[in-house]
Amino acid sequence: MATAKKGGLGKGLDSLITNKVGTLGTVETVRKPEPDKDVVFVKTAKIEPNRKQPRRSFEEDSLIELSESLKQYGVLQPLLVQDKKDYYEIIAGERRWRAAKIAGLKEIPVIIKNLTEQETVEISLIENIQREDLNPIEEAMAFKRLLKEFNMKQDEVAERVSKSRTAVTNSIRLLKLDERVQQMVIEDLISSGHARALLAIEDNEKQYMIAQKIFDEKLSVRETEKLIKKLQKEKTELSKKPREDSRIFVYEDIEQKLKAIMGTKVAIRQKDKEKGKIEIEYYSDNELERILELFQSIHQPIN
């Protein structure tokens, strides 16, 4: 995981939170909270997740474990939310919110922020990347959304999330995989390294079959790369075979014609694409003389 750069949204979530919740879980002020500054408690039921946030999967066991901690200590780090009038939409902290619901907490601390949709996506993405919460496919989809919806360039996306441009490019390429293979990555049945190797296979069915083989046989990334190179080599050789087969068929046809004319076995031996030799068998001196006389008597070319 690359270290977050300083400056911009990539500098980390802590810089977005000016006040922390005290150990007793109380708000330090009684005045009306100022957006972007004050930590306030709101009803858990009034908070809803952002349906467009990058993260889609949450491990149930991990949530239950966190909920037990929340029962004992409460939510120590506030969520970032936006005021949608009828409810508060989560910008960052959905995992804590889910765990708080499991723990039965009626209220949780939040910081209300006023952000554009693009800033909301960026912060959600940064939070999950910094916490290593996104699987490779979720991360790729988030990068693609920044590129498509907000017309950002890959260099800009890379700078926002403190990653290299190559890392962003390789991440987005995973979305070219067959959907079944993508699901295997999401379920952690194969790694992103395996997935990148599979990009060399264009046929979706073959991609999926090899992905299953990787999982079943517990192949390493290096073993997978060797397997795919071997399959590609076989494919190249196979693509040449039909032309060779057609040439062999022509030779066999000519051999049969010569055999019918000469009354003995004839074989055509190919040395390379342009050269070869013709072998005519004979079984006695008399047969050799007969073949010689046959050549001398032929005045028309063989059809």
- Do residues 221 and 197 make contact, with C-beta atoms less than 8 angstroms apart? yes
- The counts of H helices and E strands in the chain are 11, 7
Give the residues across from 108 on adjacent strands: 42
Query: Which candidate in 28, 34, 94, 119 is catalytic?
Result: 94
Distance, in Å, from the CA atom of 115 to the CA atom of 154, rounded to the nearest integer, reads 22
Q: Is 122 in the active site?
A: no
- What is the full DSSP assignment across 133-192? -S-HHHHHHHHHHHHHHS---HHHHHHHTT--HHHHHHHHHGGGS-HHHHHHHHTTSS-H
Distances, alpha carbon 167 to alpha carbons 161, 163, 174, in Å: 11, 6, 11
Amino acid at 9: L
Distance, in Å, from the CA atom of 244 to the CA atom of 37, rounded to the nearest integer, reads 76
Listed residue (66, 65, 61) closest to 93, CA to CA: 66
Catalytic machinery residues: 94
